Amino acid sequence: MEAQLPKRQKQVLKLMLAGYTQQEICKLLNLHTNTVSCYKKIIMEKWDAENMVELVLESIKRGYLEIEEEK
């Protein structure tokens, strides 16, 4: 079974997926910009994502992001 992301990485990921900028994430979570960049890099490496599109697709596959269908 695949290991879950640590809490802080999960928080950063969810904010990225919600459209927050790196600066906004830093302020919201009281983190340094290098820390946020490092978390993003770690997640992308873990998931073999080469860009944000692949990161979003992996987030959907892994249940971190849900797509709502229009009715």
CATH number for the domain harbouring residue 22: 1.10.10.10
Cβ–Cβ contacts within 10 Å for residue 36, how many?
22
- Residue 66 domain flag: no
Model confidence pTM above 0.75: yes
Residue 59 has phi, psi (to 5 degrees) of: -65, -40
Number of domains in the chain: 1
**pLDDT by residue (tens digit) across 12-64?**
999 999 999 999 999 999 999 999 999 999 999 999 999 999 999 999 999 99
Distances (CA, A) of 10 to 54, 65, 69, 70: 17, 11, 24, 27
- Residue 69 domain flag: no
- pLDDT of amino acid 70: 75
